[in-house]
Amino acid sequence: MSDTNFDLVIIGGGPGGYVAAIRAAQLKMKVAVVEHQHLGGICLNWGCIPTKALLRSAEIYRQMQHAKDYGLSADGIGFDLKAIVDRSRKVSGQLSSGIGHLLKKNKVTVFDGYGKLAGKGKVAVTKDNKLITTLSAKNIILATGARARVLPGMEPDGKLIWYYKDALVPNDVPKRLLVIGSGAIGIEFANFFHTLGSQTTVVEMMDRIVPAEDAEVSAFLQKSLTKDGLKIMTSVGVKVLKAGKDSVSATLEVDGVTHVEEFDRVIVAAGIVGNVENIGLETTKVHVDRTHVTTNEWCETDEPGVYAIGDIAGPPWLAHKASHEGMLCVEKIAGLKDLHPMNTDHIAGCTYCHPQVASVGLTEAQAKERGHKLKVGRFPFQANGKAIALGEPEGFIKTIFDEKTGELLGAHMVGAEVTELIQGFVVAMGLETTEAELMHTVFPHPTLSEMMHESVLDAYGRAVHF
C-alpha cells in the first residue's frame, strides 16, 4: 500500500486498539491499525465473549436440571459438548467480523502483520518475518495486550495441561479437573466444567478465593461453590505438574507438606504478562515494570508521541478499561478540553460464575486502610421478591460509605445478574453521588435493583424489608 503516512498508528486491534481507532476517526484523524491475528483481540476471540457463551450454555443446562422447581418437566436432559463449543466459536466469529466492518466504515486502514517501533514516529509492519511496509505517524499507541503467565513446571501441552485457549475448545469433559488460580478466569472455567459433570478442584495460593474481592464476598462465594460440590483449597501451592499418558500428577503443598493428586486435566489460570517483547521498546525511553508499560494518567509513556493502553499498561486487566483508555488517550492527543483522567477505583469488575460476582470501588478493608470511617450496608437476596420469584434467593449486596461525607466508596455484590446491576453504582460514583441521592431515588418494583436501594438504606439504619 503506497499511503503510509498517518496521524495515528495503533499497534494491536483488541478492545483498546480498535475503539481508539474508531474514536480517532470520529475526530477526523487518519488512522491505521496493525493487527497480526484477530481483530477484537483476546477478549472477543479467546476471552470475555466465548467464555460467556460457554457459561450461558452451562447456565441453561443447570436450569433445565431444576425444571421441577418451576413446575415444569424436562426429560432426557443432556448436552452436546461439540455443539456448545461450536456455538461459542460462532459467537466470537460473528463479532470479530463486525469489528472489521466498523473499522472499514470509519475509514480506518488495517494492516495484517506485526507492528514494531522503528525509530521516532515510525512503525515497521512485518508478516512471516518479512518487512511489508513502514508507517509514519506523529502519535503511536501500543495496544498489544497480554497473554497467560506460564509458570515453571506447569507448562501447557494443549492436551492434559490447559491454558484458557485450550479450555475454550475441549474435546471432552474431564472426569477429574484441577483449576490452578481462583481469579475470574479460574472460577469461571471451574464453574463451567463442574456444571457439565467434572469433579472439580480449585487451588489458590492466597487464603481465600477471588482474593481481589471484598472478604465477605469471597467467603460467601466459597461457601456457595463448596455447597454446589466444588472442592476449594486455599493457601495451597502447586509445586509441579507431571503429565502422563492419560492423566496429570499434581504435587500440592499445604502447610509445608507436599502430597500428590491425580487429575485427568489441569487448567492453569495464574495471571497474565504483558506483550512487551519484540515491539521495539529497547531503543525508546518507554519504561517497563514487571512486563507492563508505565504510563501517566493520560496513557502517555516516557517516550514522546508513544502511548500505551489496555493490558500492556497494567491493571486492572479488563476489556472495558482498555476501551475507555483508548478513547481517553485519543481525545488527549486531539487536544479536547475538560477531560477526566482514568480513575481505576471507578472501574467495575465482574465474574460470571454461579452465583455471579461484581464490584466497584474500595473493599471494606481497603477503605479502612485509607483512613475512612465507614457506614456499611448489606441486603440479602432472600429478602427480595424478584429474587425469590426467579428462584435465585442466594446472595447479597454490600455498600460502603464515608461516614463524614456520605461518599460512596465501594459496592460489592454476589448473586443473580449482579454483573448487570453493578453499573448503577458505577454511574453513581462517577456523578459523585452520596447516600442522600441514592436514598431519594425511586427504584422500580419488583426488581433485583431494589436491593441496591435497601443496601444503602441499611448503611444508615433505615432498611425496610430486612
pLDDT digits (tens, 9 = 90+) for 68-115: 999 999 999 999 999 999 999 999 999 988 999 999 999 999 999 999
Which CATH superfamily hosts domain 355-459?
A: FAD/NAD-linked reductase, C-terminal dimerisation domain (3.30.390.30)
Domain with CATH 3.50.50.60 in the chain: 5-148+273-333, 161-270
Distances (CA, A) of 375 to 231, 434, 439, 457, 465: 35, 12, 14, 10, 19
CATH number for 5-148+273-333: choose from 3.10.20.440, 3.90.1520.10, 3.50.50.60, 3.40.50.1240: 3.50.50.60
- Kind of pairing, strands 396-402 and 374-380? antiparallel
What pLDDT, on a 0 to 100 scale, did the predictor assign at position 75? 92
What pLDDT, on a 0 to 100 scale, did the predictor assign at position 44? 87
Averaged pLDDT for residues 416-425:
98
Q: Give the DSSP H or E segment for 428.
A: helix 418-430
DSSP, collapsed to helix, strand or coil, labels residue 325 as: helix
Contacts of 345 (CB under 8 A, 6+ apart): 360, 361, 362, 429
Length of the chain, in residues: 466
pTM of model > 0.75: yes
In this prediction, residue 428 has a pLDDT band, given cuts at 50, 70 and 90, of very high
Alpha helices for 27-144 (secondary structure H): 41-46, 48-65, 81-105
Secondary structure string (H, E, C) spanning 336-353: CCCCCCCCHHHCCEEECC
Q: Amino acid identity, residue 137?
A: A
Residue that has been written with the C-alpha cell 450454555 in this structure: 57
Q: Amino acid identity, residue 87?
A: R
Averaged pLDDT for residues 361-378:
98
CA 114, distance to chain mean position in Å, is 25
Averaged pLDDT for residues 7-23:
97
Residue of 38, 445, 453, 465 marked active site: 445
Alpha helices for 229-382 (secondary structure H): 319-333, 364-369
* Residue 68 DSSP class: G
DSSP, collapsed to helix, strand or coil, labels residue 235 as: coil
Cell numbers that stand for 173 in this block: 469433559
- Rounded to 10°, the helix 17-26/81-105 angle is 30
Residue that has been written with the C-alpha cell 447456565 in this structure: 59
What pLDDT, on a 0 to 100 scale, did the predictor assign at position 2? 57
Fold of 161-270: FAD/NAD(P)-binding domain (3.50.50)
DSSP, collapsed to helix, strand or coil, labels residue 391 as: coil
Averaged pLDDT for residues 10-39:
96
**Catalytic residue status for 38:** no
Asked if 115 and 34 touch (Cβ cutoff 8 Å), the reply is yes
pLDDT digits (tens, 9 = 90+) for 60-77: 999 999 999 999 999 999
Domain with CATH 3.30.390.30 in the chain: 355-459
